[in-house]
Amino acid sequence: NAGVTQTPKFQVLKTGQSMTLQCAQDMNHEYMSWYRQDPGMGLRLIHYSVGAGITDQGEVPNGYNVSRSTTEDFPLRLLSAAPSQTSVYFCASQQGAITGELFFGEGSRLTVL
Amino acid sequence: DAKTTQPPSMDCAEGRAANLPCNHSTISGNEYVYWYRQIHSQGPQYIIHGLKNNETNEMASLIITEDRKSSTLILPHATLRDTAVYYCIVRSYNAGNMLTFGGGTRLMVKP
């Protein structure tokens, strides 16, 4: 199993550009989520999904869209990138029950100029 | 979810036990205590979790006080590879996939 795979690992954008961060998991997990981590800080939840076709907002959803058309994939879209979105983005998945552990990807480092 | 308080940093000698404290005085009855760690800039790694009883796995032990207002993560024989930021998280049954990460404790294991 590859676990949670994120692409790209690094990306530089100009203000106003759009892009999609990809996240895929091969563990058949129901729950998937996106976090961002700014320098020296903990992770903050952007969006999450409890199953295919179901998404919800987290702590910092503004400027981001998500969709969950399949169990495996949970892409994060930036429609109009802003310098404030410069961060490291982590995708995570979990089997489903509250006591399940989260499995994180290796992160995608995004810089918006 | 209840908030947690952790010291910002700690040092530990290699081979000794590392005891990382966490206060969660507002924890409610259905909230679990989770510990994750983040090595350098990698994705966080699950360590252990518990509700009331003490827990142990191959990585660590979790000691939760009887009133559940605080807990301690114990790495029994710290190695240099245990140098990381350790996050204590309290999570409710209804939180879904949400984990609220605080600042964590930066553990430095020294030779």
User: Which residues in chain A touch residue B103, judged by CB atoms under 8 angstroms apart?
Assistant: 41-42
Query: In terms of Cα–Cα distance, which of A94, A107, A78, A83 is closest to A33?
Result: A94
The full length of chain B comes to: 111
Q: Cα distance from B67 to chain A (closest Cα, Å)? A: 21
Quick one: pLDDT at residue A1?
Answer: 65
Task: Identify the band that residue B102 occupies on the pLDDT scale cut at 50, 70 and 90.
Answer: confident
Are A31 and B97 a contacting pair at CB < 8 A? Answer: yes
Mean pLDDT on B43-49: 93
Per-residue tens of pLDDT for chain A, all 113 residues: 679 999 999 999 999 999 999 999 999 998 899 999 998 788 898 999 988 999 999 889 999 999 999 999 999 999 999 999 999 999 999 876 566 688 999 999 999 99
DSSP state of A97: S
Are A31 and B95 a contacting pair at CB < 8 A? Answer: no
Are A45 and B100 a contacting pair at CB < 8 A? Answer: yes
Are A43 and B44 a contacting pair at CB < 8 A? Answer: yes
Q: What is the mean pLDDT of chain B?
A: 90
- Cβ atoms A32, A91 nearer than 8 A: yes
- CA-to-CA distance for B21 and B74, rounded, in angstroms? 9
pLDDT at B26 over 80: yes
Query: In terms of Cα–Cα distance, which of A50, A49, A37, A109 is closest to B101?
Result: A37
Q: Which residues contact A38 (CB under 8 A, 6 or more apart)?
A: A44, A87, A88
pLDDT at B59 over 90: yes
